[in-house]
Amino acid sequence: MSGAWRGTLNRWRRRIAHALLHRVVFGETSGGRYLPNTRIAPSTCIEHEDRLQLADHVFIGAFNFIEASGGVTVGEGVQITHHVGIVSHSSHRAQRLLGRAYADWPTSAAEPRPGWIAGPVHIGPYCFIGPQVLIGAGTRLGRGCIVSAGSVLRGDFPAFSRIAGNPAQVVGDSRAGDARWLAQQPALRAHYDAWAAAADLPAEPAAPAAPAALAEPAEPAASAEPAAPAAPAASPRA
């Protein structure tokens, strides 16, 4: 079955299950694998679902948008709350640069439109993505990150980062909060360490190869303002 048809069937299966049961149900498929503990809300929109690679124990809530044409990988145990946007390409600069010539501009995989930005997105295991977050093309999150609501991400973020802001920055270490909870619930340490302290989790399928990403040009450096003319020397008193 082609990726497009599989994506269509997955969308209808979610909608039918929601209509009959009035809730998000367990069980998804990704890359031909059945994921019994993964849940996706039927109101979430996924474009190019054949290029979205999911691990198990993933939760994707309501009214999210995932554009996976360049490849999107979501690791085990990731929680994506609601109204989150994940995109693997950005065309707004190309459209501004080309104006009315955008639609007819000749393109190829090797030579996309000028200003076109593309790159795969990777969200590491057990990350938490808060509401109204935007994750841009080429972003990579290490495991265990916590992303605050309203953040706008682009680039690489190390494992266990607390991330916030627009543009997003690392503002702390998520393990500090985990440690406080584990101090109150020491019996949960083994479950936590199974993913947080493991040398590696089971291998995840690699996202399909994406078009070559174009580096976004750096913002031009601000030109230095001309120095103010020197004040005239005070005349000596008589």
**Domain spans in the chain, listed from the N-terminal domain onward:** 3-98+113-196
**What is the Cα–Cα distance from 17 to 238, expressed in whole angstroms?**
98
Q: Are 85 and 64 in contact (CB under 8 A)?
A: yes
Q: What is the pLDDT, as a whole number, of residue 33?
A: 81
State the DSSP code for 51. Answer: G
Q: What is the pLDDT, as a whole number, of residue 31?
A: 67
The model's pTM: 0.74
Residues in the chain: 238
Of 173, 172, 145, 175, the closest CA to residue 157 belongs to 145
Q: What is the pLDDT, as a whole number, of residue 27?
A: 59
**What is the Cα–Cα distance from 105 to 43, expressed in whole angstroms?**
34
Counting Cβ atoms within 10 Å, is residue 117 exposed (0-12), middle (13-18) or buried (19+)? Answer: buried
Q: What is the pLDDT along the chain (238 residues), one digit of tens a residue?
A: 455 555 555 556 555 655 555 455 555 667 678 889 999 998 899 999 999 999 999 999 999 999 999 999 999 999 999 999 999 988 888 888 889 988 888 888 777 888 878 899 999 999 999 999 999 999 999 999 999 999 999 999 999 999 999 999 999 999 999 999 999 999 999 999 999 987 655 544 444 444 444 445 544 444 444 455 455 555 555 4
Q: What is the pLDDT, as a whole number, of residue 98?
A: 85
Q: What is the pLDDT, as a whole number, of residue 35?
A: 87
Q: What is the pLDDT, as a whole number, of residue 130?
A: 98
Q: What is the pLDDT, as a whole number, of residue 109?
A: 73
Q: What is the pLDDT, as a whole number, of residue 17?
A: 57
Query: Beta strands of 10-167 (E only): which ranges?
Result: 28-30, 33-35, 39-40, 45-47, 52-54, 59-60, 65-67, 72-74, 79-80, 85-87, 89-90, 117-118, 121-123, 128-129, 134-135, 140-141, 146-147, 152-153, 156-157, 161-165
**83: alpha, beta or left, given left = phi > 0 and alpha = psi -120 to 50?**
left
Q: What is the pLDDT, as a whole number, of residue 23?
A: 52
**What is the Cα–Cα distance from 118 to 139, expressed in whole angstroms?**
10
The CATH number of domain 3-98+113-196, selected from 3.60.15.10, 2.160.10.10, 3.10.20.30, 3.30.70.1290: 2.160.10.10
Start-to-end CA span in the chain (Å): 100
**What is the Cα–Cα distance from 133 to 61, expressed in whole angstroms?**
13
